[in-house]
Structure 1
Amino acid sequence: MSLARTFVLKTSSLPLVERMVRRSFLFRPLVRRFIAGDTLEEAIKASEALLAKGLRISLDYLGENTRSEQEALDAKATYIQMLERIAQVPVVRDYNANPVGPEPLNISIKLTQCGLDQGEAFAEKNYRDVLEVAKGFHNFVRIDMESSDYTDRTMAMIGRVRPDYPNTGTVLQSYLYRTPKDVEQVIEWQARTRIVKGAYLEPPSVAYPEKEKVDEAYVQQAKELLLRGYYPAIATQDEKIIRELNAFVAENKIDKSRFEYQMLYGIRRDLQDSLVAEGYNVRIYVPFGDSWYPYFTRRLAERPANAFFILKAMFKG
């Protein structure tokens, strides 16, 4: 992990910095670039505009690490509301009339938002409740992977739940040393899996600190999923990696319908459009909600120059 990225992640965790970011008008344009809005309706509006361009969507209600069971129950209620509202979107209604192929608009959730810190059985019950509703709408629920403290518990819970609800999958982070083993596990499960590089601040004892090694691991794991996985999601904005994987797909005669690229809302819109024009499936991760700060700082850490520029302006007044 670069020193600049580490600095941004550590600095942004300070309460004083969080208060400054939340209050400063200088950050508002960047927040709105990465976050679709505070409300579900704002996120739906943004999603419909993207759907009209031929993109698919995964909605993410921002938040993590609930502090009480009631907070987790409230999050579950929001997840269910999302699924109900998604079912009313015209493109989704058309899909549900003949649900063939990947759904146009699904949701991503976090187990810590389901109450994992309050207890595994409690979180699993909430997770299953959401999946039951999603099943009725022919929809899919992806579990976002969080910091490495939760990886074992997340994988174990998905292993328990998937036999009852195949309409769920997860995310693997290529910077973790353990990920090759997890890739083999999700291939065995034939679970839909998103592969990402990883955005949390992890110690070198569990994750590659060097960008070059992360990139190398990412490409290798993406290729394994493309060859042997079930409808993998290749989540990257790295154009060099995308071109390498496109060549790999062509060389191995992998049909474009067997996987999708995933990209973040507000990032590389030009690349999103060009991939769609080339016939690739592309899904945009669309976050919303007022608990945007942790997600926002991870996005800033991916481009530290943005953070340094704004912090400099803030301290100049």
Structure 2
Amino acid sequence: MVRAFFLFLSRQKQLRRWMETSPVAQRLSKRFVAGETLEQALAVSRKLNKQGITVTLDHLGESVTSLAEAREARDVYRRTLDAIHAGDIQGNVSLKLTQFGLDLSYEECLANVEQLVRRAAELGSFVRVDMESSEYVDRTLDLVRTLHARHGAVGVVIQSYLYRSKDDIAKLCAEKIRVRLCKGAYLEPASLAFPQKSDVDRSYVELTQKLLTYGVYPAIATHDEAMIGQTKQFVSSKGIGRECFEFQMLYGIRADLQRQLVADGYRLRLYVPFGKAWYPYYMRRLAERPANVLFILRNLFRT
């Protein structure tokens, strides 16, 4: 119920306009967002690198309404890739295709993202294409496959709560396309996704083991200590080296667990979002964990 409520709020445009201009809300967003500017995100990235943590930078935004906006997003990401390289930051970028015009023109979206993947390949970097709601899965996978065949330097995200993900991962492993596995943060019908958390978790474990066995440098994205523990046990039992995969977590969530993973010798990358369009991302984080809601309420009454 709480999850559905916050996902509903994430789509409310009037509330979004108020939140993104409210000084109080902006202060609270700093729990999960590195800042509004690239410079702020780079400063956070340097601090994380010093702690032994790599990053993937995400310039927040999705569902643009014009191709001009899509091209602006492309240019921001181009500057981000160049800044990561120039600053010798251990990191790459993550992006959403609807920010690059997927709802408006597949061809324009492909052209925009191809410029970034080509540049990433030139710099020895990498572009991770985030997965959005189920209606975008086929187009997202088609675009990633096209760019991977042309340039490499691109991977994708698969969500364990979708029934189709088992087949998608089998194909992606065969194609040697890098995958980040997460549970999924969008509200989906029971006809497409597991409605019960226990089934989502079971799917996550199964898909994690497939990726670790057959995938190319998979990213295991979770804050769930049980999932992390099972991953550790599996790689140990199979003799899979810690250099063969990485854990991924979100900036601002479970810093204690992040420190422990690094101390134990595991590779960890944080998803570091920045930008002014932080509201939908922020609401999805609240939807995922009730503890995040309590944190916000406590701090709200302190302001």
| Residue pair 1:55, 1:281 contacting (<8 A) in 2 also | yes
Q: Distance in 2 between matches of 1:41 and 1:313?
A: 26
**Superposed displacement of residue 86, structure 1:** 0.7
| Residue pair 1:111, 1:154 contacting (<8 A) in 2 also | yes
**Alignment match, 2:139:** 153
- Map 1:267-286 onto structure 2 (within 5 A): 267-286=253-272
Across the two proteins, how many residue pairs are aligned to each other?
302
Q: Distance in 2 between matches of 1:106 and 1:264?
A: 14
Question: Which of residues 38, 41, 55 in structure 2 aligns to 1:43?
Answer: 41
Please state if 1:4 is matched with 2:2.
yes
Find the residue that maps to 1:117 and give its secondary structure.
Answer: coil
Find the residue that maps to 2:98 and give its secondary structure.
Answer: coil
**Superposed displacement of residue 24, structure 1:** 4.8
| Residue pair 2:20, 2:278 contacting (<8 A) in 1 also | no
**Superposed displacement of residue 128, structure 1:** 0.9
Q: Distance in 2 between matches of 1:286 and 1:309?
A: 19
* Identity score, percent: 44
Q: Structure 2: any 5+ residue segments left out of the alignment?
A: none
**Alignment match, 1:289:** 275
Q: Distance in 1 between matches of 2:185 and 2:11?
A: 14
Q: Distance in 1 between matches of 2:82 and 2:24?
A: 35
- Map 1:121-132 onto structure 2 (within 5 A): 121-132=107-118
| Residue pair 1:8, 1:304 contacting (<8 A) in 2 also | no
Which string of whole-angstrom CA distances, capped at 9 and with x for unpartnered residues, describes residues 155-181 of structure 1?
111122211111100000000111001
| Residue pair 1:35, 1:287 contacting (<8 A) in 2 also | yes
**Alignment match, 1:85:** 83
| Residue pair 2:10, 2:284 contacting (<8 A) in 1 also | no
Distance 1:20 1:74, change over 3 A: closer
**Superposed displacement of residue 310, structure 1:** 5.3
Q: Distance in 2 between matches of 1:129 and 1:46?
A: 26
| Residue pair 2:9, 2:283 contacting (<8 A) in 1 also | no
Q: Distance in 2 between matches of 1:312 and 1:33?
A: 13
What amino acid is the match of 1:53? Answer: Q
| Residue pair 1:8, 1:307 contacting (<8 A) in 2 also | no
**Superposed displacement of residue 313, structure 1:** 9.6
**Alignment match, 1:225:** 211
**Alignment match, 1:99:** none
What amino acid is the match of 1:222? Answer: T
Find the residue that maps to 2:210 and give its secondary structure.
Answer: helix
**Alignment match, 1:96:** none
**Alignment match, 1:71:** 69
Q: Distance in 2 between matches of 1:241 and 1:8?
A: 24
Q: Distance in 2 between matches of 1:66 and 1:218?
A: 31
Find the residue that maps to 1:107 and give its secondary structure.
Answer: strand
**Alignment match, 1:172:** 158
Find the residue that maps to 2:93 and give its secondary structure.
Answer: strand
Q: Distance in 2 between matches of 1:275 and 1:13?
A: 34
Which string of whole-angstrom CA distances, capped at 9 and with x for unpartnered residues, describes residues 110-159 of structure 1?
11111111211111111111111111111100101111110000111112
Find the residue that maps to 1:163 and give its secondary structure.
Answer: helix
**Alignment match, 1:95:** none
Q: Distance in 2 between matches of 1:233 and 1:41?
A: 26
Alpha-carbon RMSD: 2.0
**Superposed displacement of residue 23, structure 1:** 5.0
Find the residue that maps to 2:2 and give its secondary structure.
Answer: helix
What amino acid is the match of 1:147? Answer: S
**Superposed displacement of residue 240, structure 1:** 1.3
- Map 1:101-250 onto structure 2 (within 5 A): 104-250=90-236
Q: Distance in 2 between matches of 1:262 and 1:310?
A: 23
**Alignment match, 1:252:** 238
Please state if 1:34 is matched with 2:32.
yes
**Superposed displacement of residue 296, structure 1:** 0.4
| Residue pair 2:33, 2:278 contacting (<8 A) in 1 also | yes
Q: Distance in 2 between matches of 1:190 and 1:313?
A: 45
Q: Structure 1: any 5+ residue segments left out of the alignment?
A: 93-103
Q: Distance in 1 between matches of 2:197 and 2:259?
A: 27
